[in-house]
Amino acid sequence: MSAAINKKRMMEWLDPSEMHEASLQWMSELKFIRDEQLFLNDLVKSYTLQLTDSTVFNESKEIIGAITNAEKEIIVLMKKVQAHENQLEIMLDEIDQLKMEKAYTETHWELNSEISQYTLHYRELKSRLFKLVSKVMKKDKGNRLLN
């Protein structure tokens, strides 16, 4: 069975309550990530001096730039999820609007994919930042032991 046919069947099986729950779950995940980003910003501020060291500067600049872009992306995603949730009425009213209902369902799957990709990319960024900060902390600790 092809993926397109399977996706179409899955879209037909979702009812409005399931889509509502998924939207709430997405928003919860995005809010959590947004809070994490505030923590990461504080972490970067705490180690700014060490992260500007010439041995890790280029890597630091790349990772911090990517995290900054991720912060901008999450705001856009949160707005999309909120707009999607606000349009749920299309699925709940008793009026048959097949084209609009189909468009809503397709948007739901597109958002699902977009959020999954964002989350995966964000986790990779976070992991890279933690490895970099860990490396800097070890180097700093080694320097302190030598003094």
Note the pLDDT tens digit of each residue in 25-80.
Answer: 999 999 999 999 999 999 999 998 888 888 899 999 999 999 999 999 999 999 99
Tokens of 28: 């919860």
- CA distance linking residue 97 with residue 129, whole number of Å: 47
Q: Is the dihedral of CA 115, 118, 124, 126 positive or negative?
A: negative
At residue 138 the predicted structure's pLDDT band, cuts being 50, 70 and 90, is: confident
At residue 102 the predicted structure's pLDDT band, cuts being 50, 70 and 90, is: confident
Tokens of 25: 């779950």
Whole-number pLDDT of residue 144: 59
Q: What is the mean pLDDT of residues 131-136?
A: 92
pLDDT over 70 (residue 142): no
Question: How is residue 131 annotated by DSSP?
Answer: H
Question: How is residue 94 annotated by DSSP?
Answer: S
The pTM assigned to this predicted structure is 0.82
With CA atoms as reference, report the closest residue to 56 among 138, 130, 131, 132: 132
At residue 141 the predicted structure's pLDDT band, cuts being 50, 70 and 90, is: confident
- At residue 55, the 3 state secondary structure works out as coil
- CA distance linking residue 27 with residue 33, whole number of Å: 10
Whole-number pLDDT of residue 147: 52
Whole-number pLDDT of residue 143: 63
Taking the chain, what is the end-to-end CA distance rounded to the nearest angstrom?
66
Are 24 and 79 in contact, with CB atoms under 8 Å apart?
no
Whole-number pLDDT of residue 72: 97
At residue 24 the predicted structure's pLDDT band, cuts being 50, 70 and 90, is: very high
Whole-number pLDDT of residue 100: 84
